[in-house]
Structure 1
């Protein structure tokens, strides 16, 4: 059973956390609140709290039916970047909740070609650069969905408790740990990742920017030049960045995962050479994986970013392919587009590989062991020699 303190369904208390602690809404701030119809109770509570803080709330609501229509029924010739983004760029704050409740149903049978087209027009819009240049800051809030819990075979009551508990986690402690790891990553040269499933790979960190999402936008965060330093997610607790795009070498293995429309991917294995994911095979789902990634070409399978979860309330369940990225000790490596994170791969399309129960060392110093975070202040133990390259 998941553990940790939980808000339950006290939406007013959750809204105070989002609006005042995480987003830091100020009098006069224009605040856009987006979400699906199923998130309306929290959206409404957030809008009320924005008003109490002196901000100007604007709610943008959608439904699963509308989102599916956009993805499936929009004529291909009419697919273009959302013009709503132009209005969004005028806002001070964006608070985003999930726009769909049942993502598998919404995305079922959406062709890889259409997905690619949406990605291409989004990339061509230069929205990333516009966001960096804007004053916008944002908070992305997860919302427990019964359909999602069912699809992952999770007990909904435990899953819901964990989600609200993760949102209300001790972010001061998370921020301290994030800062320690951020310094190591910013000055480190190599990251080595292994797992019981068979992952054994190295990445060159290359002095790239490292981002720490501790669930709260500080005054310094709000003034940063990069949009990704002006955003926070709830549940928070994530450290992420990019690596040198041709550096990933070794093996990549994932016991259980799910690709588009919830199709299972089991026993996935691949080789990594010069950053490229090669020789893909799997017990189940290899063809579906290849079909999903084929439209993006080699760039879609070039490893260029990573993340490390820091939230002690969030828990992974490998047997059910449930891997919240913010779970303490959860590791992801991702291929494809990494430009928004300061990387050099600007081609659309990406795939994130969960590395459960990972052991990670930075220049030989272990920071995660068997999926558990290791104190970076107390630990000076080097990685075992058999795991070094």
Structure 2
């Protein structure tokens, strides 16, 4: 899961969650995979490891392997108490300085490995008064999406394993959730990379993309010959040579393709039957949202629930933050969309799941440098490039890219 997608600024979250870790610690095989294959740790590098106290053994195992590579690990321990302090107790006049200090550290590291934790962020956010939460959100935006100082070596890795709290939050039976995440983590990286490259070739050669759904989405944009980013779970030598920030970001489970387009070209209607956007006080559930675009600009939005929330964010956002940004397509066949009145799970990595990105997109190869952005989920989408269908009703259907 890509961190820039999680930190969507138009509906900005104060923090992020991936599937949190199970009581059974990852094996030595996974630790070696993260250090040697996924992250490609090198001697002389400074590596930040972020996780909570329940993951301390895992953090130590990672640190041990990092030392053996001649690099130096720095463990940043996260907890409910520290999160509450950082979310609720920082003086208003120090909010910008507080976030500047965090990003000053993050931007100097060669590699940051995030281990998803089980902290109840939503409950903590609800405790913040709205006015204070708004000021905190604005302070985060001051440093969100800033280019790393060490682009030559910069990379970020996100590791997520299932737990019962996250399954409950998604409205999914734990056994179903656990099985899906673990199978998705075991999917062959090379197969995902090959699938992504085939889709990327179609996009690179194309000019016009059309996204439609049976519930009313009819959206088009023009491609601009921009590079695609593929999260296949490995930071390759080619990724390290890339100037595109998203090429240096990977996740387990993995499987994601991102491409930007002509920012002034997005036009039409996007319908999101269900969504969760992030407000100042935590996640906000949205149903039956309709977004209208013209010449790349989001002009209006309506929704059955929480329309006032969406309208407020649209009104307050910088103009560039409401501009079309790009397309996201999931590539992992083991990740599934489970979305109905009870289940609320739309992972970016689910094969055939589509998102439209709006706002800042320079980190994924675009030209919009604004520090705000968000994604709109388009379930069961059909995507065509110059008339060639690559996704049909939420499934990859091209013979060369679809999972058997």
TM score, norm. by length of structure 1: 0.87
Please say if 1:232 is aligned against 2:232.
no
1:200 match: 218
Per-residue deviation, 1:107 = 2.4
- Structure 2 SS opposite 1:241: strand
Q: 1:107 to 1:317 in 2, by over 3 A?
A: same
Counterpart CA distance in 2 for 1:309 and 1:274 is: 26
1:163 match: 181
1:291 match: 312
Please say if 1:339 is aligned against 2:362.
yes
1:356 match: 379
Please say if 1:190 is aligned against 2:202.
no
Does the 8 Å contact 1:101/1:145 carry over to 2? no
Counterpart CA distance in 2 for 1:63 and 1:361 is: 45
Counterpart CA distance in 2 for 1:350 and 1:100 is: 26
Q: 1:270 to 1:225 in 2, by over 3 A?
A: closer
Does the 8 Å contact 1:205/1:242 carry over to 2? yes
Does the 8 Å contact 1:204/1:248 carry over to 2? yes
Please say if 1:308 is aligned against 2:326.
no
After superposition, the C-alpha distances for 1:185-209 in whole angstroms (9 at most, x for unaligned) are: 2232111111233211011111122
Q: 1:199 to 1:41 in 2, by over 3 A?
A: farther
Counterpart CA distance in 2 for 1:186 and 1:84 is: 37
1:3 match: none
2:93 match: 77
Give the number of equivalent residue pairs: 371
Q: 1:244 to 1:99 in 2, by over 3 A?
A: farther
After the TM superposition, list the runs of 4 or more consecutive aligned residues in structure 1 that deviate by more than 4 angstroms: none
Does the 8 Å contact 1:116/1:349 carry over to 2? no
Per-residue deviation, 1:318 = 1.8
| Alignment map for 1:3-22 (pairs within 5 Å) | 9-22=25-38
Per-residue deviation, 1:16 = 2.2
Per-residue deviation, 1:217 = 1.2
Does the 8 Å contact 2:259/2:364 carry over to 1? yes
- Structure 2 SS opposite 1:325: coil
Does the 8 Å contact 1:257/1:265 carry over to 2? yes
1:120 match: 141
| Alignment map for 1:264-275 (pairs within 5 Å) | 264-275=285-296
- Structure 2 SS opposite 1:69: helix
After superposition, the C-alpha distances for 1:132-152 in whole angstroms (9 at most, x for unaligned) are: 3x4222212223343222122
Counterpart CA distance in 2 for 1:245 and 1:364 is: 21
- Structure 2 SS opposite 1:183: helix
After superposition, the C-alpha distances for 1:180-232 in whole angstroms (9 at most, x for unaligned) are: 11122223211111123321101111112211111111222223333322222
Counterpart CA distance in 2 for 1:378 and 1:167 is: 19
Structure 1 unaligned spans of 5+: 1-5, 380-389
Which has the higher mean CA deviation after the structures are superposed, 311-320 or 17-26?
A: 17-26
After superposition, the C-alpha distances for 1:58-85 in whole angstroms (9 at most, x for unaligned) are: 2111123322332333222212243243
